[in-house]
Chains A and B, each alone.
Chain A
């Protein structure tokens, strides 16, 4: 059964770095791409970036200078790091797997709620 689960701190101070982990089960990170998508409270969805099965990455141009996505295939984990956090980065952060076609996200984690506040 395909599963993804995000984990990380619920609260981050302004200007600090956010670190999230997406732990997957039921598939291999060497075969599937994984995306990060976020959603501020009561607002729409924003695509953040993707790590390809090959290990390459692509980022939203608006976040590129602050964002890094990596993975440890042996541990079935994908990592998101974003620095210089501001209050507008408060959101639910989702990881999601590609179905097979690129950018067709068919399986999602439950989401991790992150609040940026002092």
Chain B
């Protein structure tokens, strides 16, 4: 199975900051990488699919990039409502989620 190493596990940032979250796969996942945001007590919410496609209704401050084994989610200007936990999800082969990044607002 493909292992997804997500970093950092905890991130504290201020409103207006540029934030990046990384996922590294144990092998090439051919850009089959989605990003989800989850708030406490809620279901995950799709942000980005297949590396760099913004889901409908998601603000343009969210973007994704990457190729091969290395992928990044970027929030260009952090907003208060962006707190939560972010998960990557690879679906190149047997689907697996990353371990999550908890984003706290300073």
A: residues with CB less than 8 A from B are 37, 44-47, 60-61, 94, 96, 99, 101-106, 108-111
- Chain B min CB distance to A105 (Å): 6
25 contacts between A and B (CB under 8 A): A44-B98, A45-B44, A45-B97, A60-B94, A61-B1, A61-B94, A94-B43, A94-B44, A99-B49, A99-B55, A101-B50, A103-B89, A103-B91, A103-B95, A104-B34, A104-B49, A104-B91, A105-B34, A105-B46, A106-B46, A106-B49, A108-B44, A108-B45, A109-B43, A111-B43
The answer to whether A103 touches B34 (Cβ under 8 A) is yes
Interface residues on B, range: 20 to 34
Count contacts between A and B, CB distance < 8 Å. Answer: 54
Tell which of B38, B43, B49, B94 has the most Cβ of chain A within 10 Å: B43
B: residues with CB less than 8 A from A are 1, 32, 34, 36, 38, 43-46, 49-50, 55, 87, 89, 91, 94-100
15 new A-B contacts at CB < 8 Å, known A45-B36, A104-B91: A44-B87, A45-B38, A45-B87, A45-B89, A45-B100, A47-B89, A47-B95, A99-B55, A101-B49, A103-B32, A104-B34, A105-B34, A106-B46, A108-B45, A111-B43
